[in-house]
Each structure stands twice: as structure tokens, then as C-alpha cells.
Amino acid sequence: MHLSVTQLEDPVSDLITSIIRDWTGKLVGAVVGLALAAGVTIPADLSAQATAAISGVMLVAVQLVYYVAVRAAEQRWPAAGRLLGAASAPGYGLNVPIHTRLVIDHEKTGAEVAAFYQQLQNQLLTVQRQAQQQARGGSR
């Protein structure tokens, strides 16, 4: 009997999505922060270190405000996620659909196929329970 299931999750796409969204927020925030900083006059009597510190704080603050604003908007309007370079947040394996490849020999009986589908359903329920336990903070 040759019935097999291969479950494939895609952690690479989650990683790529998270990197894109993280760096898009940083880059857009940096550009906006630099544009805003260009219009700010820093007193000449401040040291170069103080000037650099003020500029750095402004840059990070603008990046943070941009990222948080887009994430908040994304909760109400999911398409706003595109402002972070990817339409949706990564699932990190909890909400990612599991792709299943099914190989069945042609000579299998209906009872064997039905038993296999029951086994598959049980495996998927186990995976769902494990994901729910991970989401709650650990296994029991």
C-alpha cells in the first residue's frame, strides 16, 4: 500500500516577509525622518555629539511612528500593509496553511483511501492543537 502525506510549511516565506516589512518601515521612516530633520535648526553651540544624538533620536522616533501607524491602519484596512512592502504580516507557522501532497496508487480500494483520509484528518487536528498550545504559551 502506497499512501503517503507530506506536510509542507513555508518558514522561508515568513522570514522573507518579516524582513521586507521590517526594513521597509525602517527605510521609509529614515527618509521621512531625514526630510523632517532637514528643516530643523539645531543651535550652533551644541557639540557634534549632541547634534548626532538628536538626529539619531529623531530618525528612530519617526521610524517607530511610521511602523506603528501602518500596523494600526492595517488592523482596520488590511491593504495598508502594503505600505510596509508586503500585503500581510508573516504567520510564523501558526496561521500558515499546511500544504499537503497526497500520493495514492491507482489500485487502492475505497476503504483504504477512506482510512487514509481519516488518518490525514487526525494528523491535521493534532497540528492545529499544537499550534493552539503554542499560541497559548507552551505545550501541556
**Predicted pLDDT at 93:** 56
Torsion-angle region of 93 (φ positive above 0: left; ψ -120 to 50: alpha; else: beta): left
Residue 123: domain span: 3-9+96-136
User: Residue 103 falls within a domain, yes or no?
Assistant: yes
Q: Are residues 65 and 129 in the same domain?
A: no
Residue type, 109: T
Closest CA relative to residue 62, chosen from 29, 23, 27: 29
Q: Are residues 34 and 74 in the same domain?
A: yes
One digit per residue, the tens of pLDDT, for the chain of length 140 reads 444 444 445 556 778 888 888 889 888 888 887 887 777 676 777 777 877 787 788 888 888 899 999 989 988 888 888 898 888 777 665 544 455 555 555 556 667 777 777 888 888 888 888 888 887 775 44
**Predicted pLDDT at 102:** 52
pTM of the predicted protein model: 0.53
**Predicted pLDDT at 69:** 92
Domain count, the chain: 2
User: Residue 25 falls within a domain, yes or no?
Assistant: yes
What is the DSSP secondary-structure string of 20-87? HHHHHHHHHHHHHHHHHHHTPPPPTTS-HHHHHHHHHHHHHHHHHHHHHHHHHHHHH-GGGGGGGTSS
**Predicted pLDDT at 122:** 84
Q: Are residues 65 and 102 in the same domain?
A: no
Q: Are residues 74 and 132 in the same domain?
A: no
Q: Are residues 49 and 107 in the same domain?
A: no
Q: Are residues 62 and 124 in the same domain?
A: no
